[in-house]
Amino acid sequence: MAFNPLRERGIPLEKQFRNWSELNVKPYDKETVHPYSRCRGIVMNGIEVEAVMFSHTMARHTADPKIKQQLALVRRAEAQQQKAINWLIPGDESTLEVTIGYEQVAVDLTAWVAQHEPDAYLKQVYEFGLLEDFDHLYRYANLMALIESDKKAEKIVGGLTEIMPGRPTIFEHRDPRDEIRRPMTALAADPQSILNALTVMAAEQQTMNFYMTIGNRPQEMLARGLYAEIAEIEEQHVSHYESILDPTASWLTNLVMHEYNECWLYWSFMEQEPDKRVKALYELHLNMEIEHLRIACEMMRQIENRDPEEMLPKALEEPLLFQENKAYLRKVLAEQVDLTSSESEFMPVSDLPADHRYFDYQGVVNKGGVPSEQVIEQARSELGEEYRLQTEGGHPVPGLKREKNRDGASTEYANRMAA
Ligand SMILES: [Fe+2]
Ligand SMILES: [Fe+2]
Ligand SMILES: [Fe+2]
Ligand SMILES: [Fe+2]
């Protein structure tokens, strides 16, 4: 079922604009929505936000008014797509419920990408980020148990993703300079590596924007603090993922790859989506993206005198799938939870010299209380036990088991910070 968007005919751009009632779509029912349908919508919203913002940034670096007009035309269609997708979220789904959806995306999207990444270093980049978002899911689920106890995190994730500690958020705060990775080169990279990076970067960027905006909506100081703390990690994650992309790729190369990526994702999600109405929306958007891609390719031929087909794959073979990754996550947890980074390299935290800037940064931000720890302490004291969803048995890391099952085991992180 290979698919080549360059050989398909899309919807002409002048026929892509929709009226307000078409954009104001009927939201899904939060009681019956499939958890991975929620996840796919969150991803596509992030992808469309990136399409809009990338186009704005490109326009700001473009002098030719004709090119600006062409960008503006396609961008208006992207902006409409963003509304149609994001307006699927119903008003009775609370901000915290949506947040649990965002972190489930970060876990199962990144897990698929890491397992389908041909480059060993980039795979490590994804696995490193994966364990951090996995921990966020656990912290927010505990916040939900405390402040929205009528709701259940296990219902939102549908039991498809486990909820337990990852790399503890308190230890994720690193000096900003240690978040910059080695870039791939677009010429040498497998096209899948570019699609993977664009997708995860857009998802993390949307998560950052979302927490930046809605993190001040709760009244509880603990909740506001937790959003502020995790929003800062999402900022870190955007720095981490954007730095793997080739910084020498031209604006038009980037534009073509963005449109190609949108084709890949709508094609992938259209195939899996069980909700017929949403599936039809994805199919419609795919047919729009085929035209966006054709236009971007034409611009590249005219302006750069280059054939975009030389850098694109012959066809899309593999759809991105939302599926369970429990066994894989447990393996990555057992092997990598103690990793940290210095410059662009990853190493166990025990390998850092005592005067490393990591400890300075930790000392600054974690001074005077850490919300991601307080939320667990408060859950233990108010609910008797912290919230976890371990469907596959005990935690694979002895030092991260429930306190009563821990037998005094610790993590390298805890040992190192105590030293
Ligand atoms: Fe789009
Ligand atoms: Fe996260
Ligand atoms: Fe993240
Ligand atoms: Fe597009």
The secondary structure of 346-368 as a DSSP string is: EEEGGGS-TT-HHHHHHHHHTTT
How many whole angstroms from 296 Cα to the centroid of ligand 3?
Answer: 30
Structure tokens at 58: 């490109």
Structure tokens at 144: 């939900």
104, 137 contact by CB (below 8 A)? yes
Residue 350 lies in a domain: no
Structure tokens at 361: 């940064």
How many whole angstroms from 204 Cα to the centroid of ligand 3?
Answer: 5
Q: Which ligand is nearest to the CA of 285?
A: 1
Residue 415 lies in a domain: no
Nearest Cα residue to 146 out of 400, 386, 390:
386
Q: Which ligand is nearest to the CA of 292?
A: 4
Burial of 210 (0-12, 13-18, 19+ CB in 10 A): buried
Residue 247: strand, helix, or coil: coil
Total number of domains constituting the chain? 1
What was the pLDDT predicted at 417?
85
How many whole angstroms from 294 Cα to the centroid of ligand 3?
Answer: 32
Question: How far is the CA of 169 from the CAs of 132, 258, 371, in angstroms?
Answer: 7, 31, 9
How many whole angstroms from 86 Cα to the centroid of ligand 2?
Answer: 19
Q: How confident is the model at residue 352 (pLDDT cuts 50, 70, 90)?
A: very high
Residue 345: strand, helix, or coil: strand
Residue range of the domain that includes 46? 5-328
Integer Cα distance of 216 and 225 in angstroms: 9
Residue 349 lies in a domain: no
Residue 20 lies in a domain: yes
pLDDT in tens, 210-265: 999 999 999 999 999 999 999 999 999 999 999 999 999 999 999 999 999 999 99
138, 161 contact by CB (below 8 A)? no
How many whole angstroms from 35 Cα to the centroid of ligand 3?
Answer: 19
How many whole angstroms from 360 Cα to the centroid of ligand 3?
Answer: 23
How many whole angstroms from 220 Cα to the centroid of ligand 3?
Answer: 23
Residue 146 lies in a domain: yes
What was the pLDDT predicted at 1?
76
Residues with CB under 5 A from ligand 2 (ion): 106, 133, 136
DSSP 177: G
pLDDT in tens, 164-195: 999 999 999 999 999 999 999 988 999 999 99
Integer Cα distance of 37 and 60 in angstroms: 35
How many whole angstroms from 106 Cα to the centroid of ligand 3?
Answer: 6
Structure tokens at 375: 């939320």
Q: Which helix (H) or strand (E) holds 17?
A: none
397, 335 contact by CB (below 8 A)? no
Structure tokens at 189: 């990279």
DSSP 385: S
How many whole angstroms from 270 Cα to the centroid of ligand 2?
Answer: 26
Residue 84 lies in a domain: yes
What was the pLDDT predicted at 419?
76
- Average pLDDT along the chain: 97
Q: Using a pLDDT cut of 90, give the percent of the chain over it.
A: 97
166, 138 contact by CB (below 8 A)? yes
Q: Which ligand is nearest to the CA of 237?
A: 3
Q: Using a pLDDT cut of 70, give the percent of the chain over it.
A: 100
Is the alpha carbon torsion for 87, 91, 92, 98 positive or negative?
A: positive
Residue 159 lies in a domain: yes
Q: How confident is the model at residue 377 (pLDDT cuts 50, 70, 90)?
A: very high
Q: What value does the mean pLDDT take over residues 333-350?
A: 98
Residue 210 lies in a domain: yes
How many whole angstroms from 292 Cα to the centroid of ligand 4?
Answer: 5
